[in-house]
A and B are shown apart, each in its own frame.
Chain A
Amino acid sequence: MTNKTSHRELELHSLIQKDDDVALMELFEIHGETIMIKLKSWYKSVLDEALILEAVNEAFFGYYKNPNTFNPKKGTLSRFLEVAAERDLKNILQKENRRGKKIDLPEDVELQEKMWNSILSESEASDSAIVMTETYSKVEEFLQGYFLNSVDVELARLILMKERANTEFVKVLNIDSLSPQDQTKEVKRNKDRIKKVISRNNIEEQLRAIIYE
């Protein structure tokens, strides 16, 4: 928080707290485009720009109405707004997803344990190769919507595949150099983090819709 941007952010934050005449305008002018560009790049699968606009709008007004939810000591305003906009986009996508569901899912449908493997192996030979490949990429895109980097996507994939071997997670996390104890700790910490995202966003349920639709 020592660069010029931070100073500008603090100034803007103070304007918003004071309910200044130009505060809302400056909030949108300074952060609007940047955050939209970031969301668009993180959520390439979201083709409808209106959803991104709505999410950014929601996040900005949320902060504007309750500026004290942002604590300058904990991080930058731009990061705070990014996180808020991303959270709002996820909520919007979930709502859209629920609204757009075309099929009733059987209650007892469980995710195939080796879903990705089966999709891949079938895609090599069967008549439904194209469909399978499409499903695979849809699933990947879907996960990329919730996890910001490829490591997290891969970890989520392993968890959803019910992978139990620590070694698989160690490979993905690239922590071979750590002691076995530290590896276990690090794997657990990351698994817990990813599981929270999975559970909070009903990812498993949404995946069923993608796979079995």
Chain B
Amino acid sequence: MNSQEKLMRLASSRISKDDSFMSYFLGKYLAFERISEDQMISELNCSLACYYKLALCKAPNPTANDFIQRIQRISEKTGVSVFGISKIIKRVYTINKLSDAQSQSFLMAARDKKKNEDNS
């Protein structure tokens, strides 16, 4: 790994908890899929430098009207395919939504249960 890649990796880890960046989406995707960074790089068919470049980009919202245009621009700038970027964002977005919905329903169920107990 050269100095530039090391620098971008460090920058990427700094924003890995910020869900507005691709770094967050890449990290989540790796965790969900239980794959390593190297496997991801080979799946995306890109270089290490391109992978970190992608991590430093903002992640467009997949429900936005300009999603495809934004992904296309990121793809041009990073050298990672539109399909690859889109797949990562959509998958993580969906799983996050599902887990949000799941925790909401757990909360509602817990609230209903408490109400029932209070009434009885």
Cβ-closest 9 pairs across A and B = A25-B56, A21-B58, A33-B4, A22-B77, A24-B56, A32-B7, A25-B53, A57-B10, A25-B57
Interface residues in B1-48 by Cβ distance below 8 A to A read 3-4, 6-8, 10-11, 14-15, 21
Q: Which of B66-86 contact A (CB under 8 A)?
A: 70, 73-74, 77-78
Complex formed: what's the CA distance from A104 to B104 in Å?
A: 57
CB of A21 within 8 A of CB of B4, answer no
Interface of chain B, main secondary structure: helix
Name 12 A/B residue pairs within 8 A (Cβ), A-sorted. A19-B58, A21-B60, A22-B58, A22-B77, A24-B11, A25-B53, A25-B57, A28-B53, A32-B4, A36-B3, A36-B4, A57-B11
Q: Are A21 and B56 in contact (CB under 8 A)?
A: no
A interface secondary structure, majority: helix
Q: How many Å from the CB of A201 to the closest CB on chain B?
A: 25
Q: A24-B11, A32-B7, A53-B7 known; 14 other A-B pairs, CB under 8 Å?
A: A20-B58, A22-B57, A22-B58, A23-B58, A24-B57, A25-B53, A25-B57, A25-B77, A28-B8, A36-B7, A57-B11, A57-B14, A61-B11, A61-B14
Chain A residues whose C-beta falls within 8 Å of the C-beta of B60 in the assembled complex: 21
Which residue from chain A places its CB closest to the CB of B55 in the assembled complex? A25
A29 interface residue (CB < 8 Å to B):
yes
A60 at the interface (CB under 8 A from B): yes
Task: Kindly state whether residue A153 has any CB partner on chain B within 8 Å.
Answer: no
CB of A192 closer than 8 Å to a CB of B: no
Given contacts A25-B56, A28-B56, contact A60 B10 (CB under 8 A): no
The reply to whether the CB of A54 lies closer than 8 angstroms to some CB of chain B is yes
- B4: A residues at CB distance < 8 A: 28, 32-33, 36
Kindly state whether residue A77 has any CB partner on chain B within 8 Å.
no
Q: Which residues on the B side are within 8 Å of A24 (C-beta)?
A: 11, 15, 21, 56-58
* Beta-carbon contact of A57 and B7 below 8 Å: yes
Contact A56–B57 (Cβ < 8 Å)? no
